[in-house]
Every structure is written in structure tokens, then in C-alpha cells.
Structure 1
Amino acid sequence: MNSMSNWLYQKWFSYIHSNYLVYNTSWEDAAIDRELLHLNNNSSVLMITSAGCNALAYLLDGPRRIDGIDVNYRQNALVDLKIKLIRYRDYTALSNLFLTGRHPEYLAIYSRVRPYLEAKSRFFWDRYIRYFSPGGRGLYYNGTAGTFALILNAILKLKGLKPNVSRLLHTASRSEREQIFRSTQGKLWSGLSQYLWKWDGLLSLAGIPASQAEAVEDLNAFMQGTIYQLFVEQNPAQNHYWRVYLEGKYSTDCCPQYLQKENFAVLRKNIGRLSLKSSNLLQHLSHTETKYSHFILLDHMDWMAETEPALLAKQWKLILTHALPGATILFRSAYPDLSFLPPFVFGEVNFTNAKNINIQQQDRVGTYTATWLGVVQ
């Protein structure tokens, strides 16, 4: 980008993330996380909230505390609604809203839980509870990530590929899925759409900064490989991460762990261990004395690597100051290696790429180059 284009892009990206709910569901595989983290009742976790699906999943392992932080209060408002439904209502109320993202009785459900919400959460949901209206798009096609998903679905429909995508999702036979994929990929990656979907302005809706997209050498080739892995090699029928955006809803047999009925009792028992704060990582670590055994940073550092290296270094110093001996640090990245990290980090943290322990291949999201697990020495 030239300087003017970059300035306009930064303004656009900042506007989106300062004014809208971005993530309506978490985009990191919680099953992978739980396998890597080994949480237990001694664990103290600091994580970026996002949509909160994974924070709730971690509660199933009984950690002592989870502190969820997010600079966008709208993300915390989404999680706060889930928390209060779990704590004060029942599984039916939770699933009525969040399984399909819409329900005829959404206003009645909201009115019963509204008094328990934090003030900022009430402010947000009083305006946007309509996301759950049965006559609207539904939660999972709202928020900017939901809008991005709608645009991708429109491209698939325009190309006449929606029936093939549905068959891919629901075909048990791997060989049949491969045939469908081979007959579809040429049309999928042709024409204007092969450029439109990866336009920086559009990727901003999905929370993908330009620097992160540029870290992948060939986005089209990367995504072709990802889609083959997820829709052919794996069984996509159980991939709720992609199905929710392709179908607009979850189902009882394909949904995040916090929406599985058998987990509700444990969630209710442990829900008081999850706290939320609208803050960024630097602010939180600068004003807390808490030490943590686990840090879950999503792809947060990709956002800072190119534009804010000094702040990234400061953040790592604070992380290490607040890390218990042997603390675990989990994050994703689009970068092929860790050369973007401050050099001093490597003297204090040993990193393992999940690819090297045969876990990455099970990942049902697939849009990150690497999943990294660091252990503080």
C-alpha cells in the first residue's frame, strides 16, 4: 500500500473494531486448545475474550480462574449474555438463543436475563438483541464477521456452488467428498471472486489485518489447501466452525462445547470462575498483581508485529513478569516462523509448533499457518 492507501485502511480497520461487534463465535479450535493446555483446578488463565465460546469450554476442565479481557466491550457483552443465561436461566434458554442464533421468544428470554447483565452489556443488547429475531439474519450472520460470511455465501450462490458445498458438509464418504471438491475448486477460485474475498477492506470485517494477510505468501493457494484438509481429509459434518458460517446456525449434534447439553451442569458449577474486563493486554497486565499459569493470546500478536514492535516487546516483558514458573503461552499466527517476536523472549520461553506434535492436523479452523505453545523456563 502507498501511504494514503495505508492511512485510509488503518482508519477503516480502526472504525470497524471500535464501533461494531466483530466476532459472533470463537475462531480457534477449543478441543485443540484443551489438549495442549492441560488445565486443572490449579490453573489461573489470562485470555483474550473474543466471542467467549472457548473461555466457556475451558471451564469444563475446572481451572481456578479465567480472566477474559477484550478491548472491544461488545465482545464482552456477548460473553456476558452467555454467562448470565448459564448462571440464572437454564440450558433451554441458552440453546434457544445460541444454537440457531434466532428464536421466536428472544425478547422474552432477554427480558428475564437483562437485570443480571453488566451496564455496558445492557446498553449493547438493548440496541442489538434484534440479532436474534427469527425474521432477521440471525446472530451468526450479524457482527462484522457475520457480514463477511454473508458475502462469501453470496459469492458461492452466485457461482452456483451452494449445492456442492452442502453435499461436502453432509457426505460421509471421503472419496465422494474428494470428487465434489475436485469438481468445485476450479469454479471457486476463478473470476473476480478470487481477488474480492482477500481484499483488505473485506478481510477487515473478519478481523484480519492487512499485515496478517500479507504474512501468507499466496492466500488462494493456502486456502485451497485448508479447504481440502477440512472438507476432504477431515469429516466436515462435525466441523461446527465452518458449518455455522455456511449454514447460519448450529445443531444439537454439531455445536461448540458450551452448547452441548451434557456440559451445562459443569458450566453452571464453574461459571463464577470466569470474569470479564474491557481492556487490552498491556493495560490489564500493567494494573494487576495476579500471576498466571496460562496465557491464551489468539492471533493477537500478528496485529502488532509489523505496526507496533515496541509495544509487542513491552507486552512480552509484562507477560513474563506475570507468568508463574512453567507457565504456558498459547497463540496462533499467520507468520511461518517466530522471527517477529522480540529476541529476548527466546531466552525465557521454549516454543513448540503444534505441527510437530501431530495436533495441528486435527484443527477444524485451519486459517492460521501455525499454532504455537510456549513454556516459560
Structure 2
Amino acid sequence: MAEMASEARFRKNGKLKTALLQHKALSKNGVSERLFGLLFSGLVYPQIWEDPDVDMEGMQLAEGHSIVTIGSGGCNMLAYLSRAPRSIDVVDLNPHHIALNRLKLAAFEALPAHGDVVRLLSATGATSNSQAFDRFIAARLDTTTRAYWQGRTLSGRRRVGVLDRNIYRTGLLGRFIAAGHLLARLHGVDLTTMAQARSLREQRQFFDDQIAPLFDKPLIRWLTSAKSSLFGLGIPPRQYDELASLAADGSIAPVLRQRLEKLACHFPLRDNYFAWQAFVRRYPQPHEGTLPTYLRPEHYAAIRANAGRVKVHHATFTELLAAKQAGAVDRYVLLDAQDWMNDTQLNELWTEITRTAAPGARVIFRTAAERSVIAGRLSPALDAEWRYLEEPSLRLNRQDRSAIYGGFHIYERAQ
């Protein structure tokens, strides 16, 4: 599809380029960074892969809080609206994610009923979705976002037509998951049969008998030893190096096996929509399991009523904070963005976080490896302003159903 940007478009996106490029163009690391940047300049995450229920508990999110978060697929900020925050500022450097976040917000504001929102954002083969966009949503979008969704792909279809099929099979991550399914089938394993498991015991058996042996296959070990093979997961070169450092032979196959085991075996399938997307490539039907938090009926009224409290910005986290008043923000959600940053960028970010943090403010983020990425890297003055909440960080990391990260971390402003 046309959302896979050309290198020229990536280079024109100065903010994205600055965030990703740390090495000279012709160096080994520089080539990897530019390849990742080219791939990341298209749609990457139709669905966010951080568990928003863990986020909200880690933040102790409450009514009236001011939040700044990275957008990604937008599922997180919509879930946060169920807690009636005072405001949410969403930032992202990827224009495709910006358009998706604005579409999802407009869907809650414009569509007549909860069932219409669920059909638009979770159903497969609902050919009326593009018509619902034309009738209810398009007029509520800004000119740029409306033009994005009404634009044509290389195949001549309107981009919004993806909602008539299955948007979660698109984007960089959707294609990576498809490639994983194909690779498994080449080794005689149909991952979609995980949907037949009716208990944690059966999930464990399927993993042990069908999935785990795949990681010993020479082809899979060879593929996972190359940085570029995991760009489809949104893992940039710096994150790959962190994961590879955990393995003796340089292959991250053992790390991926461990993370996939958690996804497959640690949570009942009916309660883990992340596992449904990974193994079945869709959300569960009502008789099969639960939908993401933001699509559940009990949260619909609150999200619809509070959607106007969100502003979506094409900006870096640091840029947005620099424009805010001191003490104006209660909660910060950094996803895994710091794994991409050098020490200078980290200290610039935390300088603005510290300046804008209200009393008792909390920062949450995830890391590819288990250890907090900011430990020992902030200036002593900044470090003294924050305390690490180790016990809830470890506990909530175990509860994160997406299972793809090594660590979940919570920092609180020191009193």
C-alpha cells in the first residue's frame, strides 16, 4: 500500500530523521538506522502493543489528570479517556499514526452508537465501514487527515477502504506478523490453531509442542541474528543491540522465545487480545474473548464524552513539553521511545519533564531489556528529582499482556 513511504519522504520528515539517525550514513550502524527509518516512515502500528490497563494502574490515573503520551496506534489514549482526565496531549513523529489517532477519536465522536465504533475498529470484512466514514466521520476531520484517508493507494483504492477489510493486517507490524505465520507454516505449524485452546494448560501444550521447537530451526536462528529481520516489530538497531547483549551467541531467538512464551502461556486467551492479534491475526468474537479496553461497552460513554479533551500533535515529546508551563503535567507515557535515544536526548527530555511535572507526577515507560534505560544516564541534578518505584514496576511488568518488552518502569516526582 501507499503508506510505505519512499526514502525521499523519510528524509523530508526532519523530526523523524533526527530521532532515528545516530551514525554516519555509510557505517554499518548508519545503514541499519536508515533502513529502519525508511520502514518506520510508513504505518507501523494499527494497534498499540503496550497494555493500557497496566499503564493506568502504573500511573494511578485519576479524573482531572493532565497526560502527555506518545500516540502509536491510539488505543492507549482512548483507554485513558475512560478515567476522565482533564486533558491528553498525544505526540507522534509518524504522520500515519497521527491520521489514525485522529480517525479513532472522530469515530467515537461521530458514529451513532457503540456497535458502530466496534464495527469500524475491530470487525473484519465489514464493507460498510468506508460508507460510515463518508457519512459520519469525514466532516469532523481536519483537512489534512480527511485527505489522508480519502487518498488513493498504489492499487487505486481509497486508503479508508482498509477499514472494510482488516486494518490490523496492514502496517509494518501487520506484515511482520504475516511473515511470521508464513515462516511457521513452512515448518509445518499453523499458528491460528492456538484459537482452539480452551485453557492455560492447552495454551501451554500448544506452545511447547508447536511453537517452541521453531526457535531451534537453523533458518529462524539465522533470521533473528540479523537486525533488519526484526524491524517489522518496530525494534530499531539500538534496541536490537540491547536484546542481543542478553544472548551468548548474538541471536535474539532465545529472548523472542521467552517473550512469546509469556504471550502464549501466561494469560487466558479469552482475556488477551494481544495474543489474538499475534496468533489469529484478528480480534476475538464475543463468544471467544474480550476486546481492547477502549472498545468495551462499559467505557463507551466516558470515552465519547471526553474525546474532545485530546489534542494530537506532530511533534517530539521534548518539543511539546518545551511549550508548556512549569508544573502543568501530571502523567507522562513514553512507551519505548527512550530506547532510541542517546544521553544528550535523554537529558533534554527529562529536563523538560522535570520542569513541567506537577507535584506527585509519574512517568511510565517500557524497555526492550529488563533494566531501566535511564539508570545511570541522567545528570545527578535530574536524577535527584525522581524516585524509581521498583516493586510496582516489576509487578506490573508481569501483568503486561502484550509480553513483548523486558521491563515496565514507573518513576515518581520526589516530594
SS in structure 2 opposite 1:375? Answer: strand
Partners of 2:396 and 2:408 within 8 A in 1: no
1:95 paired with 2:118, answer: yes
| TM-aligned CA deviation for residue 334 of structure 1 | 1.7
- The 1-side partners of 2:124 and 2:203 are apart by 28
1:145 paired with 2:170, answer: no
Q: TM-score, normalised by structure 1?
A: 0.91
1:279 paired with 2:312, answer: no
Identity of aligned residues (%): 24
Aligned to 1:30: 52
Partners of 1:132 and 1:139 within 8 A in 2: yes
SS in structure 2 opposite 1:215? Answer: helix
Partners of 2:386 and 2:413 within 8 A in 1: yes
Aligned to 1:21: 43
Count of aligned pairs? 368
Partners of 1:353 and 1:371 within 8 A in 2: no
SS in structure 2 opposite 1:331? Answer: strand
SS in structure 2 opposite 1:255? Answer: coil
Aligned to 2:9: none
Q: Deviations over 1:122-157 (max 9, x none)?
A: 1221132132243xxx21111111111111111122
Partners of 1:140 and 1:245 within 8 A in 2: no
Match of 1:296 among 321, 333, 338: 333
Aligned to 2:103: 81
Aligned to 1:57: 79
- The 1-side partners of 2:123 and 2:34 are apart by 34
Which AA in structure 1 matches 2:234? G
Aligned to 1:255: 291
Within 5 Å, give how 1:199-238 maps onto structure 2. Answer: 199-216=226-243, 217-218=246-247, 219-238=252-271
Q: Deviations over 1:200-247 (max 9, x none)?
A: 223223221111121121322222222223322321232111212322
SS in structure 1 opposite 2:201? Answer: helix
Aligned to 1:159: 187
Partners of 1:71 and 1:279 within 8 A in 2: yes
- The 2-side partners of 1:121 and 1:190 are apart by 44
Q: Deviations over 1:178-215 (max 9, x none)?
A: 33322221234312123325632232232211111211
Partners of 1:86 and 1:271 within 8 A in 2: yes
- The 2-side partners of 1:245 and 1:224 are apart by 14
Q: Deviations over 1:144-183 (max 9, x none)?
A: 1111111111112222211xx3444442333333333222
- The 1-side partners of 2:282 and 2:349 are apart by 37
Which AA in structure 2 matches 1:302? D
Which AA in structure 2 matches 1:353? E
Distance 1:100 1:198, change over 3 A: farther
Match of 1:129 among 142, 160, 168: 160
- The 2-side partners of 1:342 and 1:285 are apart by 18
Distance 1:87 1:142, change over 3 A: same
Question: Unmatched 5+ residue regions in structure 2?
Answer: 1-22, 152-158
Question: Unmatched 5+ residue regions in structure 1?
Answer: none
Query: Is 8-17 or 290-299 further displaced after alignment?
Result: 8-17
Aligned to 1:191: 218
Which AA in structure 1 matches 2:240? A
Match of 1:119 among 143, 159, 166: 143
1:326 paired with 2:352, answer: no
Match of 2:197 among 141, 160, 171: 171
Aligned to 2:19: none
Query: Is 186-195 or 6-15 further displaced after alignment?
Result: 186-195
Q: TM-score, normalised by structure 2?
A: 0.83
Q: CA RMSD in A?
A: 2.1
Match of 1:41 among 46, 63, 72: 63
- The 2-side partners of 1:364 and 1:76 are apart by 25
